[in-house]
Amino acid sequence: MKLKHRILLIVVLAAGVILANCAERCHEDEADLSAGQTSPSASGNNPDAGAKPSEGDSSTHYPDLEIAATPAGIPSILKHYEGFTVGFNPENHTPNWVGWELLASETDGESSRNNAFWCDDELEGCAYPYDYTRSGYDRGHLCPAADQKWSDRAMRDCFVMANMCPQDHSLNSGAWATLEKKERLWAKRDSVLIIVAGPIYEKTDNKRIGDSGVRVPSAFFKVLAAPYCSSPRAIAFVYPNMSAPGNMSNYVMTVDEVEQLTGFDFFSSLPDQLENRIEATTSFKEWDR
């Protein structure tokens, strides 16, 4: 990411704390970013312009948008499955991130959910389904099964433990599920969405479950982009790993802010001007109209 903004983030992760204050501060930061941003030059005088596809070319398909660039200091194994890609952390026994492209045509299909969780023995550090048994946490999908109804193979693959994180049941069945349903509606409207989701670990997140020692995160992020719309846009959400009451807009952040939290670089194959613009600001009203 080319933009260098200093962002003050307050992420409320402790149980029982209301997140409205966090959302208010995030929206203040968003306003500061918008006020301080210089609009890209219409003349396209960008020294890197030749390195990437130009913005506004409707025939262009940007490659690998679902893959997040991961800092060298974070253990990560790249693994492609049918319908999604994982950057897997063998030390945490969870993904760093899971990314996928969701087409409007993939929001429904004939393949049914089978709940057949499985360990990928070829992936170092992959957890086993029984690691979560009686742990108090759900096997929380990052790429949801409902996004994979278009293919039997994709449905099978999305139950791999490399796609799972320990997730509080109230989040998994509540706000996280609500966001997943919204994504499918937005994909139908915008034709294509790029989605990347993953856990957020604090240094104090030392709790582990199961024989494998699966690390439990404090929070989860999800970043979304609609890069092929007439007015491309992006949005991000951060939820604590607990019940997340209230309106979805309380949990909205910019992609830039999530990059600051995680260290990952999202949507880096977009043209620089487009990437910088859609990652620096967001509008939940624009997405939810």
Question: For 9-18, how does the pLDDT look when each residue is reduced to its tens digit (9 = 90+)?
Answer: 333 433 333 3
- Domain span at residue 83? 22-27+62-287
Instruction: Report pLDDT digits (tens) over 63-122.
Output: 999 999 999 999 999 999 999 999 999 999 999 999 999 999 999 999 999 999 999 999
CA torsion through residues 107, 67, 2, 60, sign? negative
Residue 286's SS3 state is helix
User: Apex CA 167: angle with CA 166 and CA 173, to 5°?
Assistant: 145
d(CA 165, CA 132): 9
Instruction: Report the interhelical angle of 255-262 vs 272-280 (nearest 10°).
Output: 90
The overall pTM is greater than 0.85: no
* pLDDT (0 to 100) of residue 59: 62
Confidence band for 258, pLDDT divided at 50, 70 and 90 = very high
E strand or H helix at 157: helix 152-157
The token duo for 108 is 């429904």
Whether the pLDDT of residue 247 is over 50: the answer is yes
Has 27 been annotated as catalytic? Answer: no
**CB-based contact 29:7 (threshold 8 Å):** yes
- Overall domain count for the chain: 1
Among residues 5, 80, 93, 141, which one is catalytic? 141
236: in domain: yes
Whether the pLDDT of residue 281 is over 90: the answer is yes
CA torsion through residues 8, 9, 10, 14, sign? negative
Please report, for the domain that includes residue 169, its CATH number: 3.40.570.10
109: in domain: yes
16: in domain: no
The token duo for 217 is 């995160």
